[in-house]
Structure formats: structure tokens, C-alpha cells
Homo-oligomer: A and B are copies of this chain.
Amino acid sequence: MDRSSGVPAFRQVAADLRERIVAGEYEPGARLPSERELVDNYGVSRPTIRDAIDLLRAEGRVDAVRGVGVFVRPPTQIERLARSRLSRAARAENKGAFMADAAAKGFTPSSSVKIRFEPADERVAGLLGIEPGTEVTVRDRVMRANGLVVQLAVSRLPRELTRGTVIEEVDTGPGGAYARLEEAGHAIGHYVEDVGSRMPSPEEASTLQLAEGVPVITVTRIAYRQDGLPLEMNDMTLPADRYRLTYEWAAE
């Protein structure tokens, strides 16, 4: 603790704790000294210790458990999502990429869907190449593995394409909505995915049961028919500590 360095005390404490964590002095899952102990160790007040710990929480390095202690967050199991999950071959065998993925890894997957119809706003209309206000079918999905929410997905299609099909129902059958579109003569030509990341809203944090300091990855996928007509857009939200996305393509 250097009180005349100009570096705030809580940052010095955080830096020291961070160093010890990285060095392995506090191993993953280990408990840090209690806040009152740290008060004695560093000779600062409790609010200052709490500011330091809050910093480490925002960085995603530690978790606080009320009544118990502060723990070094262990690394999470990372799931890789490859674009091959969307191939027709993969579709032929299952009810959709998510279900197959999870089952293969020993999880019990589940997924709840809510269906609604609404007019397209500016963004949706632009991406689907339709007029704002045109009715779209919205499939709002919450995906779980072993009861834990692992992914949110909001799929939108021009209602014109879904009327009278099972895409407007909860169960779209084997292969999912893409398979139904293809059966209806809308063979998919190509996909585009747009990937970004940001901190979650409080609502997202609670539905995805996100820990402190964990961003979400947002993916917007658009499926185009072979003639270039947009068939579907899908806004996905993933916990960044559990997923990585992989893309592969030939040179040129």
C-alpha cells in the first residue's frame, strides 16, 4: 500500500489481489480472506475493500456469496458453436442444432417457444427486405441444458412465408423451421451471421443467470433463399463465458 503514489487505495488492493489470483496463490474456487480480514491486512476501511472486490467482480474474476465468502471464479466449460450446425446433413438427423449439440454432450436439453405476430420495425424490415409494418412471425425461444438457460433466440420471418405451416406452431418437427422452409420450396442459398458483444441488461443477466462481469455475445443470423430473398432473421444472445463461435472458410 503506497498512500502517496496517486493510485487510489481500492485499486491498489484490487491489483494486489488480482496478482495473487493470477499467480495461483488463490486457486480457482478458493476463498479470499473475508472483507474484515482484508480491512486489517491492508489497513483501509471496509467500503474501500468492497470497492476493490467490486472491481474484481466486474472483471469476472471472483464471485461473492452472501454469508459465505468471496471465491475465485473457476473457468467455465466452453461450448463451441460451429457453422456446420446449420448444414442440411445435420438437420436430417435431429430436431435442430441446439438439441443435437446438447444431447451429444450428455445434457438434457429443453427449449420453450413463444409464438407471436407483430409488425416489422425499421431494423427488422431492413434486414428482411420488407416494408416496415409488414406482419412477421416471431418465434421467441429460451434454450436450456439441464434446466439452466444457455441461450436466447428470437427468430422472425415474413408471415407470408409461414402462414398455414407448422412454423407458426410450437413444434416445427424434425430439422426445425429451416427444413420446413425448404420443403415449401424455399431452398436456402446462404447464411450471414453478424457477431458482437456487450454487457447484458439486468433482465438478460437474470434470465441467463449470468455472473457478474460476464458479457453477452449477440449474433444476428439471416438465412437467404437461393435467389437472395431473406427468409429468416434470428437474434441470438449467448453468455460469453460459455460459448465461442467458430467459422471456417476456404481461402479466396
Option from B188, B246, B251 in Cβ contact (under 8 Å) with A194: B246
Q: A59-B201, A60-B198, A199-B215 are in contact. Are A193 and B247 (CB under 8 A)?
A: yes
Q: Which of A110-118, A126-134, A236-244 forms contacts with chain B?
A: A236-244
Question: B251, A189: Cβ atoms under 8 Å?
Answer: yes
Option from B187, B190, B249 in Cβ contact (under 8 Å) with A190: B249
Question: A249, B194: Cβ atoms under 8 Å?
Answer: no
**Is A23 among interface residues, defined by CB-CB distance under 8 A?**
no
**Is A217 among interface residues, defined by CB-CB distance under 8 A?**
yes
Residues of B within 8 A of A188 (CB): 251
Interface string of A194-224 (1 = CB under 8 A from B): 1111111110000000000111110000010
Closest residue of chain B to A224 (Cβ to Cβ) is: B251
CB distance from A140 to the nearest CB of B (A): 20
Q: A215-B215, A215-B240 are in contact. Are A195 and B251 (CB under 8 A)?
A: no
Closest residue of chain B to A14 (Cβ to Cβ) is: B202
Q: Copy number in this complex?
A: 2
Question: A213, B192: Cβ atoms under 8 Å?
Answer: no
Residues of B within 8 A of A80 (CB): 194
Question: B247, A195: Cβ atoms under 8 Å?
Answer: yes
**Is A68 among interface residues, defined by CB-CB distance under 8 A?**
no
Option from B54, B195, B216, B243 in Cβ contact (under 8 Å) with A245: B195
Q: A197-B215, A217-B197 are in contact. Are A83 and B249 (CB under 8 A)?
A: yes
Looking at A15, A199, A200, which has the most chain B CB atoms within 10 Å of its CB? A199
Closest residue of chain B to A87 (Cβ to Cβ) is: B252
Closest residue of chain B to A246 (Cβ to Cβ) is: B194
Looking at A47, A243, A244, which has the most chain B CB atoms within 10 Å of its CB? A244
Residues of B within 8 A of A60 (CB): 198-199
Question: B199, A197: Cβ atoms under 8 Å?
Answer: no
CB distance from A58 to the nearest CB of B (A): 5
Residues of B within 8 A of A200 (CB): 59
CB distance from A77 to the nearest CB of B (A): 13
25 A-B Cβ contacts within 8 A?
A15-B202, A47-B47, A58-B199, A59-B199, A60-B199, A83-B249, A87-B252, A88-B251, A89-B252, A187-B251, A189-B251, A190-B250, A192-B246, A195-B195, A195-B217, A195-B244, A195-B247, A196-B243, A196-B244, A196-B245, A198-B214, A198-B240, A199-B213, A215-B215, A247-B249
